[in-house]
Each structure stands twice: as structure tokens, then as C-alpha cells.
Amino acid sequence: MAGGQWPVVSFWLRTRWPLTTGHWPLLSPMLHYASLPMAKPGKLQTSLEYLLARMVLSGLGILPRPLAIAVGLSIGRLAYFLPGNLRRTGQRNLEIAFPEMPEPERRRLLGGCFASLGRLLGEFSQLPRATPESLRKIIEYDEVGLAHLREAEKNKRGVIFLTGHLGVWELHSFGWSALEYPLSFLVRPLDNPRIEEMIEAVRTRFGNRAIDKQSAARQSLRVLRVGITLGILSDLNTQTREGVFVPFFGKLACTTAGIATLALKTDAVVIPTCAVWNKERKRYFFHGDPPVELVRTGDHNKDIEVNTARFAAAVERMVRLYPDQWLWIHKRWKTRPEGEADLYERRGKRGKG
């Protein structure tokens, strides 16, 4: 799903290229993978960023798909070895999530994260000329998960694709619109409007519709009430005004409460899903879990918290299945309950990532 991040030209663009405040992570089609606000760019900066992003995507886009992905993977693997805050954040996240895991295994998972982002960069560059026929050759559906979706469609219920920054999330929504039917997805527009326009043109090629996250409530309710599928990325750190603290890998994480609110109001079917690379089959696997049953106690606040916790647990299950393809470089546990120390604090200073 797109959900507000654009895969690999933000991750790269803001880490190594000092065109904005902070960094430009690695050159990814996800120009603000962490949904963090940036200073509003001036016209010159906007143009430079746009030209760089267009150059990277166009350059990869003219290559044959296997070569574009090979280059993307090489960029990702190279980025892993560069010094910087992203790698430190990833190391810290893996310590939090897997405290008993041997350090070499954590390094392997983090290396996989960077490689996965590189693959996403290469794959995204190919989407402007992808066809349903070419996509069928590289995508395989989880028939069990698909059966749950068909049941919801038959009953004309709205569906929420509960997903995260796992695997090739941009291909997930794009491939679905090309091979099945268009869906809507929540997105926070990029701070650079020219890049946003370029990326949205790709995402919506087969009829997908982006809903601005800042004014999403009414549109999202309408979409679900008429039985349309809505994709939402739900694995990023959230501010306390928008979320609730629920367990994620055994540690409280501030998690968006919006999905629970939408599901409870519309009785939508919430299906955990992701699109990941299957190394053995050399195809993308669209994984689907059984729907998360909604809990209704009559206490609205409790219902929001309980269901948000159930959704977070569902996302965690998918991350545990494919741990080397999740976005470990995002500060998932940054927002803390009042009085609790910053988990990313380093040598008396707060980390930046």
C-alpha cells in the first residue's frame, strides 16, 4: 500500500543528499518513509529534489527489470555499510524487538531491510510501464487469505487492508488495482509537490485513489460504507493525539487509533496483508491472514484500545514471518508514555533518524 510513504526515492533522497533539512535517505520511491514533517522547501530546492528523483527513477526505469532490481539491491546493500543514523536506528529497533537474538543474526536482518528497500526502488521504477500481463508473471496470491476477502465482497462489506512497510508495499496496492480492482489508500502528501505529483501518477495508473491523511475521516467512512476496499499502513510511530499505546514486540508503541475507529463505525472487515519477495519461487507473494475480529464492549475508549492492540499484534505476526523485509530504520518506539525515557537516546543526546 502507498499509505503516505513513497518507497525508496525518500529513503535514499533524504539520507545522503543534503537538499533538505536533515538527510535524504538513500534514494527511494518513498520520499518520506517515516511520515515525518520536513521544512517546506523553496522553489530551487523543490526543483533540485524533483530532478534528482526523476533522474533516479527514469534511469532505472529504462533498464530491463532484472537489471533495475539488481542495481536497486546494490544501492540498498551499499547504503547498509554507510555510516549514519538510519543504521543505528535499525540496530536499536532490533535490540528492542529481539533482545535475545545473537548480534550476527540482527545484523543479517538489518542488511535484509536495506536490500529490501533497494529492491523496492528497482521495482517501483518499472511500474510506469508495467502491464497486467507482466504483473501476473511476478505476483502470486495467498489463496487462503483471498478466500476471506471474497467472503467480505460477497456480503458487500467494506474492507480494510491492514498492512505496513513490509516487503514491496507500493507493488501491493499497484498490483491489486491492475489485477483485481482499484482501491483507496490513505496517504500523507509529500512536502515536495512536484515529486508527489510524479509518484501519485504511478500509484493511480490503474484507478487507485489517494485520500489525504490530514482530512481522511469523512472520505474513509464513505468509502467503507459503500463497500470499497481501503488500504492503510499502520506500523509507524504516532503522536499521542492520534494514537494509543499498545504492545508491539513486547514494548508499548504509540499506534494510530484511526483504523479501529473506522472499523467500529462501519463494521468493515479488517484483513492483515502484505506483499513480500519469495526468494525460492522468485515471485512476490501477496500474503493474507484471517480477518481480525472486532471486539465491542460498549466502552468506546476501551474498544479503540483493545482493537488497536489486536491490529498491532496482527502486523507484528507478519513482521515476524518476514523480519528481513520490514522497515527497521524507522523509530517505531519514539513516542513514549509520559515519564518514560527516550528509547533512542544515545550518550546523553536524543538520536535523530
Nearest CA among 16, 164, 172 for reference residue 84: 16
Strands (E), the chain: 12-14, 24-26, 139-141, 159-163, 184-187, 209-212, 229-233, 243-248, 251-256, 269-278, 283-288, 345-346, 349-350
Parallel, antiparallel, or unpaired for β 12-14 and 24-26? Answer: antiparallel
**83: its cell numbers:** 555510516
Q: What is the residue-wise DSSP string for 309-327?
A: HHHHHHHHHHHHHSGGGB-
CA angle 146, 151, 154 (to 5 degrees): 125
**pLDDT tens per residue across all 353 residues of the chain:** 544 444 444 444 443 332 222 233 344 333 333 333 444 567 888 889 899 989 999 999 999 999 999 999 999 999 999 888 899 999 999 999 999 999 999 999 999 999 999 999 999 999 999 999 999 999 999 888 888 888 888 888 899 999 999 999 999 999 999 999 999 999 888 888 899 899 999 999 999 999 988 778 889 999 999 989 999 999 999 999 999 999 999 999 999 999 999 999 999 999 999 999 999 999 999 999 999 999 999 999 999 999 999 999 999 999 999 999 999 999 999 999 999 999 998 754 444 44
CA dihedral 39, 45, 46, 51 (to 10 degrees): -140
Identify the pLDDT of residue 9. 44
Nearest to 243 by CA among 161, 332, 315: 332
SS3 264: helix
Q: Please check whether residue 192 is in contact with residue 185, taking contact to mean a CB–CB distance below 8 angstroms.
A: no
* CB-CB contact of 142 with 289 (8 Å): no
Q: What is the largest CA-CA distance in the chain?
A: 56
Task: Tell me the pairing of strands 243-248 and 251-256.
Answer: antiparallel
Nearby residues of 158 by Cβ (< 8 Å), 6 or more positions away: 223, 224, 225, 226, 227, 228, 229, 230, 266, 267, 268, 269
Cβ neighbour number for residue 68 with a 10 Å cutoff:
22
Pairwise CA distance, residues 138 & 286, whole Å = 11
Q: What are phi and psi of 174, to 5 degrees?
A: -65, -50
Q: How many CB atoms lie within 10 A of CB 44?
A: 9
Query: pTM, whole model, 2 decimals?
Result: 0.87
For residues 113 and 326, is the Cβ–Cβ distance under 8 A? yes
